[in-house]
Amino acid sequence: MHSSDDQGRFRNIRKKKRLKKRKGKKYYSSKNHSIEHVIGFLGNPNVGKSSLFNELTGSHQHIGNWPGKTVEKKEGHFILADEYFSVIDLPGTYSLSGRSDEEIITEEFIVQERPDLVCVIADAMRLERTLYLALQAFELTDKVAIIVNMIDVAEKHNLEISRKKLASLLGVPVILVSALRDSSLIELKKFIYDAIHTDKYDFHPAKILYSSKIEAIIRKISEQIADRKVLKEYPVRWIAIKLLEGDNWTRSELSKEFDLETLLKTLEEIKEKESINPKVEIAKTKYSGLHTIVTQSVKGDLEFKETISDKIDKIVLHPIFGYPILILIYALFFFISFSISSPIIEGMSYLLNLFAEYIRSLMIQSSSPEIITSFVVDGIIAGISAFLLFLPLIIIFYTLVAIMEDSGYLARSAYLMDRFMNKFGLQGTAFLSIVMGFGCNAAGILATRIIKNPKDRIRMIVSLSFIPCAATLGVIAFITGIFFEPWKASLIMLGLYAFSIFLTLISSSILRLFMEKEEPLPLILEMPEYRKPILKNIYYLTWSRAGVFVKKAGTFIFSASIFIWILSNLPYGVSPEFTILGYLGKVFSFITYPLMGLSWEMIAPLVFGFAAKETIIVALGVIYASGDLKTVLLNLWSLPQVISFLLFQLTYAPCFATIAAVKSETNSYKWSLFSILWPLFLTTLITTIVYQILRLIV
């Protein structure tokens, strides 16, 4: 044990270090604040943790990734009494007992970064369920405070929560707040300040005692590992409980130092003999402890009542009506995203074109070499434009997704799709990543994090590039618009969409055949109550996802545009046919023409598509330079060729940004390469079959 003096010194050193580490990054600067505190926000999903975090830190937020992990790290700060409070919004989780990335991060943060305070956010209406996490946090650290949120809802239901009683039973400070009340915010800041600074509050977290059998094993393990050199920062009791729960990580860490064989053997024997599952026993004990605490500190009727959400669900989740509603909502969703964004994109495209031509004329006037002018205008500016033009749709699309998520409908759509997705060896939650993928495949890949089984997740990641993203839709709309009457064009578009969803699921099923089967994790999903979406939440949710696109895809689209300029303009001054790209197209067409009727002029633009799919049309325009593109295509392409082109471009390969997302999420070059070759193979196969049949008929 440190003396209090020691600890104080240690803290100060730590603080200085922290400030030093963050120096130079303008965002983190706490220049005028010599003292910095670190607060962790911990809580279940759907307890309003992010709302509180947003309210508390306002616009002072920074979203990054936890080092080495794909989990988002949200950091913000507030300032009170000239002191700097850095708040870390830890990933929402139901427990700290599994070993998902989210849980590892949280545990490491608490133990290694030693925050000044860990705030556990609980829901006033669901105290038992949401305080479970607090009891787990107690086993890691003493510095825990409880924020009971949504106290307004509890008051509406005539629930009387005694703050004092709760605090004394739990042994840590408790505050009752509502994210909707302004007064709560000031109280909360003061509460955090006081908890760190004053001795107004006690920190003696309630210790949960398990059954005598379990306690005996905990004692035995604790004795054996008391002098450990590994996992030194972790409390010994916590490690013992983890081992008992069957956690692989603590086991492998400890076996570096100890021979755990005999210990684990006795553990197994006890489990067998007593037929107990320690993990479940431990959870049960915690819950029964909480039950006592909550019944003693809450007055009012906690009995089941049918809520408004239940009533809405009777219709929305109805076995028959639920599906037309689902289709209607998603149809509306796509209609709104495309109908709002297309005039914006057209306007922007017009302006960007004007700008590009203006720069071109300026450069010609100042007699700069033609090749430089082309590089600047057709390479750099075109690259930036391609990126900017994609933003409106992405932002509107993810705003709508955030509205659906915040309102509670997204969970319902996963529910409704579960049975259907099961047929392809997936859970309903996988449907959500498909929805996200329609906006941008890269963002869809990030959304697969909701899929808990690692292998299911990889299957979904590499299958997602079969989903046409918003940019691909632009290509489909343009081509079908040339060759078909409007109603036929819409039908073909719908057909292609349905086909791509089908391909995605089939791809996932095929891959499943080749993957080692693991224990299937059935759907277990909380259905949050419906609520009016909160503007701030929508804003931050949208921004965190659009931000992914901006950061990842932005740089990719830009550098790829330059790369493509080089391919399509060198050697400089020759017609497209004799550029590097032209030759590449011709080489490919030796295969693609006989199989799928795709000539070099049709293939070359698809190389552009690797960079960003929206450039395919531009590339077609460059290659068929003679006259109006629409009339030229109408004269040159036969019907089987049109269909073949539509089918092939729909799913032939992911774009660079998507490949980058696959790499960062799977952390494997093998899977990244596979995510290119697999769609290419399957698409070629299907397009060839369709084209050959069409050629016989037409």
Residue among 37 and 286 whose Cβ is closer to other proteins: 286
Residue 230's SS3 state is: coil
For other proteins, the binding residue among 422, 544, 555, 664 (CB under 8 A) is 422
C-beta of 97: minimal distance to other proteins in Å? 6
68 annotated as ligand-binding: yes
Exposure pattern of 292-312 as b/e (b: 16+ CB <10 Å)? ebbeebbeeeeeeeeeebeee
Q: Residue 393 has which token pair?
A: 């749709």
Relative orientation angle of helices 454-463 and 656-666, to the nearest 10 degrees: 170
CB 452 within 8 A of CB 630: no
CB 10 within 8 A of CB 85: no
Question: Do the strands 72-80 and 83-89 form a parallel or antiparallel pair, or are they unpaired?
Answer: antiparallel
Residue among 194 and 310 whose Cβ is closer to other proteins: 310
Helix (H) or strand (E) holding 268: helix 261-274
- Burial bucket for residue 410 (CB in 10 Å: 0-12, 13-18, 19+): buried
- Burial bucket for residue 512 (CB in 10 Å: 0-12, 13-18, 19+): middle
List the interface residues with other proteins, window 37-96 (CB under 8 A).
94-95
* Short-list 417, 498, 500, 421, CA closest to 453: 421
Does residue 513 belong to the site contacting other proteins (CB under 8 A)? no
Residue among 108 and 245 whose Cβ is closer to other proteins: 245
Q: Is the dihedral of CA 117, 123, 128, 133 positive or negative?
A: negative
48 annotated as ligand-binding: yes
Does residue 310 belong to the site contacting other proteins (CB under 8 A)? yes
C-beta of 55: minimal distance to other proteins in Å? 24
199 annotated as ligand-binding: no
CB 270 within 8 A of CB 369: no
C-beta of 143: minimal distance to other proteins in Å? 23
Q: Given the rule CB under 8 A, which of 113-121, 382-390, 517-525, 674-682 is the region that contacts other proteins?
A: 517-525
Helix (H) or strand (E) holding 546: helix 535-548
Number of Cβ atoms within 10 Å of the Cβ of 570: 13
150 annotated as ligand-binding: yes
Residue among 285 and 599 whose Cβ is closer to other proteins: 285
C-beta of 552: minimal distance to other proteins in Å? 31
* Short-list 330, 523, 524, CA closest to 422: 523
CB 604 within 8 A of CB 581: yes
For other proteins, the binding residue among 59, 82, 519, 627 (CB under 8 A) is 519
89 annotated as ligand-binding: yes
Q: How many residues bind other proteins (CB under 8 A)?
A: 45
Helix (H) or strand (E) holding 678: helix 669-697
In angstroms, how far is CA 153 from the centroid of its own chain? 29
List the interface residues with other proteins, window 397-416 (CB under 8 A).
411, 415-416
426 annotated as ligand-binding: no
For other proteins, the binding residue among 128, 405, 406, 614 (CB under 8 A) is 128
Q: Is the dihedral of CA 178, 180, 185, 187 positive or negative?
A: negative
Does residue 696 belong to the site contacting other proteins (CB under 8 A)? no
For other proteins, the binding residue among 171, 235, 246, 533 (CB under 8 A) is 246
* Short-list 487, 582, 623, CA closest to 633: 623
324 annotated as ligand-binding: no
Angle value at C-alpha 361, between 359 and 365, nearest 5 degrees? 115
List the interface residues with other proteins, window 446-475 (CB under 8 A).
452
Residue with tokens 């709302």: 51
285 annotated as ligand-binding: no
Q: Given the rule CB under 8 A, which of 12-20, 167-175, 422-430, 532-540 is the region that contacts other proteins?
A: 422-430
Residue among 524 and 696 whose Cβ is closer to other proteins: 524
List the interface residues with other proteins, window 314-343 (CB under 8 A).
314, 317, 319
For other proteins, the binding residue among 66, 78, 132, 637 (CB under 8 A) is 132
CB 494 within 8 A of CB 474: no
Report the phi/psi class of residue 545: left, alpha or beta, with left for phi > 0 and alpha for psi in -120 to 50: alpha
For other proteins, the binding residue among 36, 102, 116, 313 (CB under 8 A) is 313
The rounded radius of gyration (Å) of the Cα atoms in the chain is 29
46 annotated as ligand-binding: yes
131 Cβ contact list (under 8 Å, min separation 6): 120, 122, 146, 170, 290, 293, 294
662 annotated as ligand-binding: no
C-beta of 60: minimal distance to other proteins in Å? 32
For other proteins, the binding residue among 98, 171, 235, 533 (CB under 8 A) is 98
List the interface residues with other proteins, window 525-584 (CB under 8 A).
525-529
The C-alpha atoms of residue 312 and residue 603 are separated, in whole angstroms, by 50
Residue among 198 and 275 whose Cβ is closer to other proteins: 275
Residue among 46 and 341 whose Cβ is closer to other proteins: 46
Q: Given the rule CB under 8 A, which of 313-321, 536-544, 615-623, 640-648 is the region that contacts other proteins?
A: 313-321
Residue 21's SS3 state is: helix
For other proteins, the binding residue among 16, 23, 190, 419 (CB under 8 A) is 419
Residue among 227 and 526 whose Cβ is closer to other proteins: 526
* Short-list 658, 667, 606, CA closest to 462: 658
Residue among 87 and 125 whose Cβ is closer to other proteins: 125
Residue among 95 and 162 whose Cβ is closer to other proteins: 95
Site string for other proteins, 370-389 (x = CB under 8 A): --------------------
Residue 157 φ then ψ, to 5°: -90, 15
Q: Residue 560 has which token pair?
A: 């790829």
List the interface residues with other proteins, window 247-306 (CB under 8 A).
277, 279-280, 283-284, 287, 302, 304
58 annotated as ligand-binding: yes
C-beta of 284: minimal distance to other proteins in Å? 5
C-beta of 605: minimal distance to other proteins in Å? 43
Residue among 94 and 193 whose Cβ is closer to other proteins: 94
CB 286 within 8 A of CB 135: yes
C-beta of 454: minimal distance to other proteins in Å? 11
The letter for the amino acid at 158 is: N
- The binding site consists of 43-50, 54, 57-58, 68-72, 89-92, 149-152
Enumerate binding residues for other proteins (CB under 8 A): 94-95, 97-98, 125-126, 128-129, 132, 245-246, 277, 279-280, 283-284, 287, 302, 304, 309-310, 313-314, 317, 319, 411, 415-416, 418-419, 422, 427-428, 452, 519-529
Which residues line the annotated binding site for GTP?
Answer: 43-50, 68-72, 89-92, 149-152
Binding residue positions for Mg(2+):
54, 57-58
